[in-house]
Structure 1
Amino acid sequence: MSMIRFVASDGLPGLAASLARGGRRVLVPVEKPAASKPSVVFAPWEPGIAMTLAKATVPPKEAVLPECETLMTFRKNRDAADLNQTTVELAPVEAAQPTVVFACRPCDARGFAALDKPFLEGVYADPYYRARREALTVVSLTCATGCETCFCHWVGGGPTSPVGSDVLITEIEGGYVLQAMTPRGEELLGATDLADGADKFPLAEAARKAAWASLVPAPDLKEAAASLRAVFDDAAFWEAETARCLSCGACTYFCPTCYCFNITDEGEPESPCGGKRLRSWDNCMSSRYTREASGHNPRPQKFQRMRNRVSHKFWTYPENWGSFLCSGCGRCIANCPVCLDIRAIVLDAVAAARGKAGA
């Protein structure tokens, strides 16, 4: 059996505080007040912070893929003897800070696993992502029950899925059972003074089974990729599915698995201040996302952009990497201002493909 530890019901904040010692950054879920409704975001632990165990409104993706990051700084230096000759001075990127994402949900941890494939397992590994990923430890809190917008079990996950987690926390009566899922998780738990929890593990297993029992049975999505391929050129289908879409991009910005980005150079490279190259999140639902320098846009209509988004998650990414580019967290559904539901789009595509095949 893997390493098991136990902490009392009021002990998780103290555990987060202890993990933050020694220069480690610990990102914990905290409630952020807002004019309309409060949100839960991940913020660095600090003394006095009010940690919550509610599911975060936004995923902790920024731990490995920041919303905006500096890839490098640069400055041109002219040769005083020959002004036509210049050299470019590049500043090295700082090393990644050891980080713990604390009390995220299994769908968030699964998001990290999904991002790993294109960023680490492709032809070229991304050095910026890799540095942060190697410095990251993921401590997930299993869900006690499903909710209306969650569909993790549709896409291969579940309320207690260990994929992407180094430590899995499960609430039981009187406290929490912490189970190491990876060597990194064992190292983290081994460095704490938490009590052994092996005798309480059966209670954790029972709680996990109860969480699964609360779920509505999931449809079989094995036909999803072929179905999306079959309806890809059916403009009428996609126009009907996305008629309400505002192209606001909420579905991408709240997604733990979306990873499209843009790269821009800013500053004055020939001034004393120099310039910098930035990588920022991009939004595939934006009309400017694929617009070329010539002004041509291969996806000028919003239905084409939604078609690209859904097809990537349930067709082309699975073809390349063997799993869906979706962790079923449901944030795209919960945060859509016009209540578009990606589950309905995929199921409608399956039904439409079956109809075409039977015609």
Structure 2
Amino acid sequence: MSITRFVTSDGLPGLLAFLSQNGRRVLVPVEKPANKRSVVFEAWKQGQPFTLEKATVPPKAAVLPQCETLLTYKKSKDPENPERVSISLEDGIRAQPTVVFACRPCDARGFAVLDRPYLEGPFADPYYKARRDQLTVFTLTCASGCNTCFCHWVGGGPTSLEGSDVLMTEVEGGYVLQAVTPGGEELLAATDLPDGAERFPQAEEARKAAWASLEPAPNIKDAPQKLAALFSNAEFWQEQTDRCLSCGACTYFCPTCYCFSITDEGEGLSEKGGRRLRSWDNCMSSLFTREASGHNPRALKAFRMRNRVSHKFSTYPENWGAFSCSGCGRCISNCPVCLDIRAIVLAALNASQATAE
């Protein structure tokens, strides 16, 4: 068994204080009371209240910020030949050591989904890689499932280890911490927390109870082929997306969506110069695929939803061997018209089967 430690509930602030040493940024779930209450990840400071609830917004921004500066540039004219312009670039990559604390297994698996295209493709993204190399993930296992979660449909579960460095499980009086990776072992070994081996059987019982609370998962292993077969069936996609508003909430709340746009801001010849930004974008937006000519290959929301669902359950699995959806359910709970991606996948399976018959 890997290294385990035990921390009492009132000892969590002390653990956070330890984790924040040596310049580490510790992101914790924080409650934001407003017209609509939410829980978001913020950098922890001594004395700051936090919660261990499932966050409304996943911690994806720890490795893929909502907006980041890729480079800055400045242009200068040759005084003797004004038509000759030179340009200087500054593209320094900076990454702060970061701990994501008390995210859920579906969020940790989200990091694993992002790793494949950003790190394992033909070219590794240096900005993403710098932050990912500096990231440590403390994951809190779920005590039970909820009506919008479906992590066990897509290869995960309430106690999944994938993407985590340390797995936390609530037991009587506190939490058992289990190291999952060498980085997690090194960090736990450096704490002064007591060994958690004696309490580990309690953690195992809690994990079994979490799995027992889940409704049986349907078999969706054929989803990639079934969705691919329906790709040209415009009637099917129109029917599934009649209620969709194309607001994009499903993508912005998703721990695995990674579409972005690149924009230049400022003027290179000005005193401040210019900068190139990478910002989150979403495939449900009608502007996402509109070309400079004005042509839009996905002018209809049905085709945009087709792209989103097919990517998660068909083309990504074809390329990487796993679904890109982690089953967190945020796209369901945050959809203003209650569109359910599970229903779309199941409808695709049934429609394909009916066609085959």
TM-score range, shorter chain: over 0.9
Stretch of structure 1 that moved more, 247-256 or 16-25: 16-25
Tell me, in whole angstroms, the C-alpha distance in 2 between the residues paired with 1:250 and 1:34. Answer: 18
Tell me, in whole angstroms, the C-alpha distance in 2 between the residues paired with 1:21 and 1:327. Answer: 31
Aligned position for 1:61: 60
Q: Secondary structure at the match of 1:170?
A: strand
Tell me, in whole angstroms, the C-alpha distance in 2 between the residues paired with 1:92 and 1:341. Answer: 41
Please list, as runs of the form range in 1=range in 2, the aligned pairs for 1:293-308 lying within 5 A after superposition: 293-308=292-307
Is 2:89 the counterpart of 1:84? no
Please list, as runs of the form range in 1=range in 2, the aligned pairs for 1:314-333 lying within 5 A after superposition: 314-333=313-332
Is 2:200 the counterpart of 1:201? yes
Tell me, in whole angstroms, the C-alpha distance in 2 between the residues paired with 1:332 and 1:92. Answer: 34
- Kindly indicate whether the alpha-carbon contact (under 8 Å) linking 2:93 and 2:127 is maintained by their aligned counterparts in 1: no
Aligned position for 2:333: 334
Q: CA deviation at 1:192?
A: 1.1
Q: CA deviation at 1:105?
A: 0.3
Q: Secondary structure at the match of 2:83?
A: coil
Aligned pairs, number: 357
Is 2:21 the counterpart of 1:21? yes
Q: CA deviation at 1:95?
A: 1.9
Aligned position for 1:219: 218
Q: Secondary structure at the match of 1:125?
A: coil
Deviations 1:225-246 (A, max 9, x none): 1110111111111111000000
- Kindly indicate whether the alpha-carbon contact (under 8 Å) linking 1:13 and 1:51 is maintained by their aligned counterparts in 2: no
Q: Secondary structure at the match of 1:208?
A: helix
Tell me, in whole angstroms, the C-alpha distance in 2 between the residues paired with 1:7 and 1:76. Answer: 55
Aligned amino acid, residue 30 of structure 2: V
Aligned amino acid, residue 207 of structure 1: A
Please list, as runs of the form range in 1=range in 2, the aligned pairs for 1:41-190 lying within 5 A after superposition: 41-190=40-189
Aligned amino acid, residue 5 of structure 1: R
Q: Secondary structure at the match of 1:245?
A: coil
- Kindly indicate whether the alpha-carbon contact (under 8 Å) linking 1:32 and 1:41 is maintained by their aligned counterparts in 2: yes
Cα distance, 1:245–1:194 mapped onto 2, change above 3 Å: same
Aligned position for 1:34: 34
Q: CA deviation at 1:265?
A: 0.3
- Kindly indicate whether the alpha-carbon contact (under 8 Å) linking 1:103 and 1:140 is maintained by their aligned counterparts in 2: yes
Tell me, in whole angstroms, the C-alpha distance in 2 between the residues paired with 1:17 and 1:299. Answer: 49
Q: Secondary structure at the match of 1:118?
A: helix
Tell me, in whole angstroms, the C-alpha distance in 1 between the residues paired with 2:301 and 2:201. Answer: 50
Can you give the 5+ residue segments of structure 2 that lack an aligned partner in the other structure?
Answer: none
Aligned position for 2:255: 256
Tell me, in whole angstroms, the C-alpha distance in 1 between the residues paired with 2:281 and 2:266. Answer: 20
Q: CA deviation at 1:127?
A: 0.2
Stretch of structure 1 that moved more, 268-277 or 82-91: 82-91
Aligned position for 1:7: 7
Aligned amino acid, residue 305 of structure 1: R
Can you give the 5+ residue segments of structure 1 that lack an aligned partner in the other structure?
Answer: none
Tell me, in whole angstroms, the C-alpha distance in 1 between the residues paired with 2:181 and 2:85. Answer: 50
Runs of 4+ that moved beyond 4 A: none
Q: CA deviation at 1:94?
A: 4.0
Tell me, in whole angstroms, the C-alpha distance in 1 between the residues paired with 2:14 and 2:254. Answer: 29
Aligned amino acid, residue 166 of structure 1: D
Tell me, in whole angstroms, the C-alpha distance in 1 between the residues paired with 2:292 and 2:14. Answer: 53
Residue identity over aligned pairs, in percent, reads: 71
Tell me, in whole angstroms, the C-alpha distance in 2 between the residues paired with 1:185 and 1:81. Answer: 59
Tell me, in whole angstroms, the C-alpha distance in 2 between the residues paired with 1:124 and 1:236. Answer: 38
RMSD: 0.8
Tell me, in whole angstroms, the C-alpha distance in 1 between the residues paired with 2:345 and 2:329. Answer: 14
